[in-house]
Chains A and B, each alone.
Chain A
Amino acid sequence: MAQVSNQKKSVITPKVDKFFMGLANAYAFVARFFKEVFVPPYEFREVIRQCYEIGYKSLPLISLTGFIVGIVFTNQSRPSLSEFGAASWLPALISIAVVRAMGPLVTALIAAGKVGSSIGAEIGSMKVTEQIDAMEVSATNPFKFLVVTRVLATTFMLPILVMYTDFLALMGSFINVNQNELVSMPTFFVQVFEAISFLDVFSSILKSLVFGFTIGIVGCYKGYNSTKGTEGVGKAANASVVMSMFLIFIEELLSLQIVNAIRNA
């Protein structure tokens, strides 16, 4: 009996230890970010470069996705609304869905896949090839140059990308509605803006900031802590995407609860 309990202990304890050690390390990493972000020197040029890499270079993929989401969601919603004779509510329904949830969520998931994996892989390969050590020995703070800049760039770029996705999704929706219900652009957009409130837009931007921060910090954390070897780089990239997406869904759920509580207050 004692043997059985010892065996169980030896299987469970390392995993529990690893989990809590991982949490402590992640906490220390995030805390270090908030400590370093306010302390000079500031790497403004690198932040701008990262904004370009993360923001501008994601535009083609985000554009296509946003546009298609708008068309597909409109098409899929039409039969249900038509059944109740409420097809004219399509613009309002689409605007609420896109601005409150789909825009931020779709953009964040795409960014997690594209940007998060590339950050994880880039920093992971820099770790493996001793480039991070090379920065350290040349009296430069690699955390500031690599982590702070990327996390700031993802945090500031994601809300912009989300607004851009929202716009394209609404344009996609408009084209669909225009073709089927012959609604003009002014009529469509009047309905869109009547349906959404300041709280919807504000919470969407705030949520996007959090999503952007999550994508950046998870990618950097996984890359910075990747184990030696090319296998470690692959694992870092993969783990960045999986962990970012998981956290984004949890954050979406939390934000929904908070915004609903504010709305009902």
Chain B
Amino acid sequence: MLDTKEKVVEIRGLYKSFGDLDVLMGVDLDLYKGENLVVLGKSGSGKSVLIKILAGLLQQDAGSLKVLGNEIIKLNYRELNKLRLEIGFSFQNSALYDSMTVRENMEFPLVRNVKNLTKGEITKRIEGLLDSVGLPQTINQMPSELSGGQKKRIGIARTLILEPQIMLYDEPTAGLDPITCGDINNLINQVKEEFNTSSIVITHDLTCAKSTGDRMALLLEGKFDAVGSFEEVFELAEDERVKSFYDYNFIRK
């Protein structure tokens, strides 16, 4: 399925706790170039914590985490920011800057990280991306004027403006109706094809997982107990915890 087996993310023995609460307890995971890896788990299982560590927003307590060959914890602020240009992060609630228009939201990372762009080039890039996510008409709108699905799309477009190699999606379909969920799932697949990204999709929605994932990884009690294709992880699962997760999503045949 995958073009190559080159690893873009390599996680070994990752631990993270908050006070007395152990969230990640020895996580091992690889993300290969050009794949969509879906990380599933119950709410509060540490899925979002994992990608926040990956983006350098949180620090692990122990373990190794390499992104594009760089050990995150060893990078200084400048090196980390350089690496962040290669990582796009789509937030659960979109995290659009609500005092700025859609255009300003998209300009914000671009003008601060890519030098010597003319106004025309910036506009062309923004309009191109808004076309890609199907929302060219929203360019001058404020985030408060957009629907939940539109905000998600704009959030994804904003992360793509820096042309990252890796995309991290945090609960991309949370709080959306089934039709908009389908649109977002299609967009995640489109991003992979069009921008040649490798992605980690965090979700507890099995429909999203099945539509977008090349591989699944199920986070249970701080560790990845099951990693593989959708069929391997769920349909052939023997573990009661995995079965119950699957049954809860009402899609077992």
Contacts and interface: CB of A to CB of B under 8 A. Distances in A.
Query: Do these two chains really belong together in a complex?
Result: yes
B95 A140 contact: no
B84 A130 contact: no
A119 to B, nearest CB: 13
Contact of A138 (B92, B93, B98, B113): B113
On chain B, which size bracket covers the interface?
20 to 34
Contacts of A138: 84, 89, 108-109, 112-113, 158-159, 162
Given A136-B57, A138-B159, A139-B81, A129 B95 contact: yes
B97 interface: yes
Contacts of B95: 129-131, 133-134
Interface string B86-113: 0101011101111100000000110011
A126 B91 CA distance: 13
Interface string A116-145: 000000100010011101111111100000
Contacts, number: 56
Interface of A is mostly: helix
Nearest to A136: B57
Contacts of A140: 108-109, 112-113
B93 A129 contact: yes
18 contacts: A41-B112, A126-B97, A129-B95, A129-B98, A130-B93, A131-B96, A133-B57, A133-B89, A133-B95, A135-B97, A136-B84, A137-B57, A137-B89, A139-B84, A139-B85, A139-B113, A140-B112, A140-B113
Given A136-B56, A138-B159, A139-B109, 10 more contacts: A126-B97, A131-B95, A131-B96, A133-B52, A133-B89, A133-B91, A135-B108, A136-B84, A137-B56, A140-B112
